[in-house]
């Protein structure tokens, strides 16, 4: 007997933008792909926790000791893969979203709001969020690729995900 699906499949009436926003709001983790600064731009992928900011844009809390952080400091181009397929009897029928863009350090007055949003999503991060080697990063999306099951594939502009906040 197949396992019950715990994540709902996108409703037929749900637009691609709505499905993508739902993934950003509900996925607490993602795969971050950066360009490896030591290996001629080869891709480097790692698991990270994410949380949406007030506009729905992904926030990351990264250690300065991590490879992906050094890669972002050398070249901010990156990609995030959000996987909403957990619990689907057939994994490839579940939704997933790839965001392509850049990551920037959150600085100044924005740090407090980023911290509040991130810790609200990941309460255990309050233990290390204030450590000197950790910093908040905001992912700025240039384009998004949604696969919401077989035959539901869309490229989306940032405005479809974040409205007036754009990227």
> Which tens digit of pLDDT belongs to each residue from 71-123?
999 999 999 999 999 988 888 888 999 999 999 999 999 999 999 999 999 99
- Distances from the Cα of 9 to the Cαs of 5, 40, 96, 144, 165, in angstroms? 9, 39, 11, 19, 27
How far apart, in whole angstroms, are the C-alpha atoms of residue 124 and residue 112? Answer: 17
Return the CATH superfamily for domain 16-162: Electron Transport, Fmn-binding Protein; Chain A (2.30.110.10)
Residue range 124-154, pLDDT digits in tens? 999 999 899 999 999 999 999 999 977 789 9
Q: What global pTM score does this model have? A: 0.89
Residue 98, both tokens: 């790839």
Count how many residues are written for the chain.
Answer: 167
Q: What DSSP designation does 110 have?
A: H
Residue 157, both tokens: 């502009």
Q: Where are the chain's structural domains?
A: 16-162
């Amino acid at each position: 007997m197949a396992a019950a699906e715990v994540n709902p499949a996108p409703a037929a009436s749900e637009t691609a933008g709505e499905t993508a926003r739902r993934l950003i709001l509900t996925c607490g983790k993602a795969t971050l792909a950066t360009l490896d600064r030591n290996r001629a731009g080869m891709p480097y992928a790692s698991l990270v926790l994410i949380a949406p900011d007030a506009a729905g844009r992904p926030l990351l809390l990264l250690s300065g000791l991590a490879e992906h952080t050094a890669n972002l400091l050398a070249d901010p181009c990156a990609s995030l893969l959000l996987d909403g397929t957990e619990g689907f009897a057939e994994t490839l029928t579940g939704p997933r979203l790839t965001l392509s863009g850049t990551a920037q350090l959150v600085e100044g007055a924005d740090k407090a709001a980023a911290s509040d949003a991130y810790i609200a999503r990941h309460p255990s991060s309050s233990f290390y969020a204030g450590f000197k080697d950790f910093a908040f990063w905001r992912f700025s999306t240039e384009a998004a690729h949604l696969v919401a099951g077989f035959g539901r594939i869309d490229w989306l502009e940032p405005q479809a995900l974040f409205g007036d906040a754009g990227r």
